Structures are given as C-alpha cells and as structure tokens.
Structure 1
Amino acid sequence: MHILIVDDEVIPLMHLQEAFQKEGFDVTTAVDAPSALQAIQGSHFDACLLDLNLPGMNGIELAKAILALMPKAYLIAVTGYPDRFEFQDCLNAGFKGYFAKPLHAHVLIDTIRQIPTDNMVP
C-alpha cells in the first residue's frame, strides 16, 4: 500500500514513516500542503494521513484540494488540537477517519489495513 503522511512536526512525521515502513507500507511524506499537493501529482495513494493544523492551508482545506484531484482518496485526519477542529467538519470535508494526538502508530496502521479494496490500486 502506498500512503501519504502530511505533518509539519518533523519528529512525529518521521516516527509514523518509520512505523509504516516497518509494516511494509510504501510511504511518501510532506511537511506542508504545497508539498503534499505536489506529491499527489501523477501518483496514487491508497490513504492520506493529514495533520489538520498545517501552516498556510490547513488540513481541511488540503483535504478538499486532494479530493478535487483524487475523488476516491481515503483521508484520515490527525490533530493535536481536537477542540479547534470539529469531527463533523472533517466528515463534511471528506475525511473517513479522525484521530487526536498523541496516538500510537499501530492504531493508524490497523485502520489503514481495513480500507475497502475498491480504493486500492489494482
């Protein structure tokens, strides 16, 4: 599976990348929305983990931009500020999951392994 992880906090981003790679995932990372959108050009991701509190374009705005490019994208919101980003707003933006930090990588890995196969690249 190919996943995109977007987080402006480099240490948590590296920890998630390492955990997913150890489980056999192909991982692309980005530290901001422009980098994430550039990574999506010409690529397919089975899932995208998006931090909601990004500089400039926040994760909800990024989700809408990703869905405009990849309508079947499986998006998961991750935030250290659950009081700032409402769960319902995330669902309305197209997210399929919502997790508050701190979190354990195995929870996200288990969630991504349960993605319906119609989202996967054949």
Structure 2
Amino acid sequence: MSRPPSTGGQRVLVIEDDDTIGRHLQAGLRANAYEAAWARTGGTGLALAQESCPDVILLDLGLPDIDGVEVARRLRSELPNALIVILTARSDEIDVVVGLDAGADDYLAKPFNLTVLLARLRAHLRRRPVSETETDAEPIHVGDLVVDLAARRCLLGDREIDLRPKEFELLVALASHPGVAVTREDLMARVWDENWFGSTKTLDVTMASLRKRLAHDVAPPRITTLRGHGYRLELPTKP
C-alpha cells in the first residue's frame, strides 16, 4: 500500500455534529497524514481551536448549540491565519455568502466526496505562504484605489477597506492588470491554485462579496463581468 502524500503534519479540526460524517472525515484525514480532531458542538470546537490552534478547520453550519456562522466569526477573530472551510447542506447561496462574510475561506456543499475535499485542502494549503515577491512588491495604484501587497492593505482614498484573504488576492489579480480582461481560469489559478479541483462557484461568491465591500465608497472602482470569459477592473474615467 502506498503512503499518503505528506501534508507537513497540518492540524485539522472538524466541527460537525453528524456522527457518520464526523467519523468519516476524521478517519479519512488521518489516513492522509493530517492530525485530525473532531468536535460535535460549536462550543467544544471553539475550546479545542483555542487549545490546539489548528491549521485547518472544517466547520458545519448547522450545529446544535451555536450557529455555524457565529462560530466562523469567532474562529476568524481568534485564529486569523487558519484556513476555514464551511460544510453546508443549505442550498441557498445567501447562506454561503453569510458564511464567507463571517470569515470562512471556502465552502463545500453536502454531500461531498472525500477526494474532492482533500484536493481542495491541498490547493488552499499550497497558496497560503506569502512569497518574497509579494512582500517586496510596490503598492498598486488604480485611481483612488491603492493595494499594498506587502502590508496586505486596501485603501480607497483615505479610507481602509477591510477584505478577507481571498477577496484581497482577487483584487490584487485584477488590479495588477487594470483595464485588461482576466479569464476565470486565470483568476482561479492565481487566487486559489493552478491545480484547483472542483466548482468555480467560489469565485462568483467571493467576487460578489468583494464588490459589496468596495461599494461602500462614494466612487468605488468598477469591476465588469465579461460573460463566458471573466472579469475586468475598469480604469478610472478621466475628468
């Protein structure tokens, strides 16, 4: 029997109240060289997260004691660098958006295949280290928009825009080529992973959330959807 690929011993916390799903996830993760712990309630999950500082958290939205969205919000506050993937049986897109807004990095709709989950985790974990190129890069200026890669800050005029990690990376991908159409495939490769395995709906949800955050400004930068192709960050119009 071949050994599972090395994961560097990443710690994964599963917060899931369904016994079948919880046991399946814990066993599957351990078989693939992850250190996996399992909590059946939000309260227990929060306590374990504080104690073990996991690298990855798989979070069910439908928990018996605390709403999963609130758990995601508290986890993101306490563990800003953890990868949070929400697991949901809810079919409404608004539930996914709320979960991502609360601080999750991605989501998987139930039922899902363990192979898909493992591929998704590998893709995310490959993307997490910050490269020297980013830390040394000059800020990107597009009109009143300033994207500072080294500080991971976004400014519109004199106001700072609070962006989640994937929203920030998506904006960087667009702002790096203002006025140029960027394909969905290129965005998925840059923001998620060149070997991304699974639905690209995460891109649409993240883009909608990014637009919402930028829209609070009086004159927000405009991101145009190019049907069947991708997106374009528009250059500011000259007065």
In the alignment, what sits opposite 2:121?
Answer: 112
Q: Secondary structure at the match of 1:118?
A: coil
Q: Is the alpha carbon distance of 1:52 and 1:13 closer, same or farther for their aligned partners in structure 2, counting shifts above 3 Å? A: same
1:106 & 1:46 partners in 2: Cα distance?
A: 19
In the alignment, what sits opposite 2:44?
Answer: 35
For the aligned residue pairs, the C-alpha RMSD in angstroms reads: 1.7
Q: Is the alpha carbon distance of 1:113 and 1:76 closer, same or farther for their aligned partners in structure 2, counting shifts above 3 Å? A: same
Is residue 2:71 matched to residue 1:74? no
In the alignment of these two chains, the number of paired residues is 119
Q: Secondary structure at the match of 1:76?
A: strand
In the alignment, what sits opposite 1:58?
Answer: 67
Larger radius of gyration: 2
Deviations for 1:17-60, whole angstroms, at most 9, x for unmatched residues? 11111111100100001110110123221110000001121111
**1:91, distance to aligned residue in structure 2 (A):** 1.6
1:55 & 1:105 partners in 2: Cα distance?
A: 24
In the alignment, what sits opposite 1:26?
Answer: 35
Give the letter for the 1:66 counterpart.
L
Q: Is the alpha carbon distance of 1:54 and 1:84 closer, same or farther for their aligned partners in structure 2, counting shifts above 3 Å? A: farther
**1:76, distance to aligned residue in structure 2 (A):** 0.4
Is residue 2:56 matched to residue 1:47? yes
1:105 & 1:57 partners in 2: Cα distance?
A: 26
2:47 & 2:105 partners in 1: Cα distance?
A: 22
2:128 & 2:74 partners in 1: Cα distance?
A: 23
Instruction: Please list every run of 5 or more consecutive structure 1 residues that lacks an aligned counterpart in the other structure.
Output: none
- Is contact 1:49-1:77 (8 Å) kept? yes
Is residue 2:22 matched to residue 1:13? yes
**1:84, distance to aligned residue in structure 2 (A):** 8.0
- Is contact 1:52-1:85 (8 Å) kept? no
**1:80, distance to aligned residue in structure 2 (A):** 1.4
Q: Is the alpha carbon distance of 1:16 and 1:86 closer, same or farther for their aligned partners in structure 2, counting shifts above 3 Å? A: same
What TM-score do you get using the length of structure 1 for normalisation?
Answer: 0.89
